[in-house]
Structure 1
Amino acid sequence: MKKFLLALSLLVTATLNAADAPKAVTYEGQITGVVCASCKAHITAALSQKLTDVVSVDVKAGETPETQKLIVVAHNDSITKETATEALGTYAKNYQILSLAKK
């Protein structure tokens, strides 16, 4: 009986913790100025460190050679183009975020 109650307690605790976990939000947009792996690393580091609850940042080839696709996944539903640009800090002079929106 004790084992059953312990198992039930663990199950309830795990369920409550899962319900409290924030949902991941995916943002997609366009960015310019990314020409090499170091550029991608600068963007990834800046956004991951300065925006709260970022899970991942990815930069992929865009529709044109001048623009790249920016994908940010976070447990934060308030990221905007402006907050992402601010998070770039001094890198914002090299990379311009053209758009960023929730998917």
Structure 2
Amino acid sequence: MKKLVLALSLLVTAALQAADEKTVTYEGQITGVVCASCKAHITAALSQKLTDVVSVDVKPGKDADTQKLIVVAHNDTITKESATEALGTYAKNYQILSLDKKAE
């Protein structure tokens, strides 16, 4: 019974700490995204290879050639360069033009 109470208290503590973590939103422009599979490739690559990513979204941009890239993370050190590196071999198909922290 003591082990169960200890385990539950550890879970509650971890959940509270996770809830206190501040998220950072990054917004930028990306090219080459023409279909749902492209979006899935980008989302998977950035989510798996960048630290503490909560979500990745690609939305239509101002014109047909560029799309809006939105990354939300518990990490305030993501850069255009680190995101491009995270794309790996996909970087030859998709070019991240910009990626900046969104003003709070």
Q: TM-score, normalised by structure 1?
A: 0.82
Q: Post-superposition shift, 1:22?
A: 2.3
Q: Sequence identity of aligned pairs in percent? A: 81
**Superposed counterparts of 1:21-100, under 5 Å:** 21-100=20-99
Cα distance in 2 for residues equivalent to 1:39 and 1:20: 31
- What are the Cα deviations for residues 32-91 of structure 1, in whole angstroms up to 9, with x where unaligned? 000000000000000000000000000000001000000000000000000000000000
Cα distance in 2 for residues equivalent to 1:43 and 1:96: 11
The CA RMSD over aligned residues, in Å, is 1.8
The residue identity in structure 1 corresponding to 2:42 is I
Residue 41 of structure 1: SS of its match in structure 2?
helix
Seen in structure 2, the aligned counterparts of structure 1 residues 20 and 35 have a Cα distance that, compared at 3 Å, is closer
Q: Which runs of 5+ in 2 are unaligned?
A: 1-8
Seen in structure 2, the aligned counterparts of structure 1 residues 43 and 18 have a Cα distance that, compared at 3 Å, is same
Aligned residues: 90
Q: Which has the larger radius of gyration?
A: 1
The residue identity in structure 2 corresponding to 1:28 is E
Cα distance in 1 for residues equivalent to 2:18 and 2:95: 37
The residue identity in structure 1 corresponding to 2:45 is A
Structure 1 runs (4+) deviating above 3 angstroms are 17-21
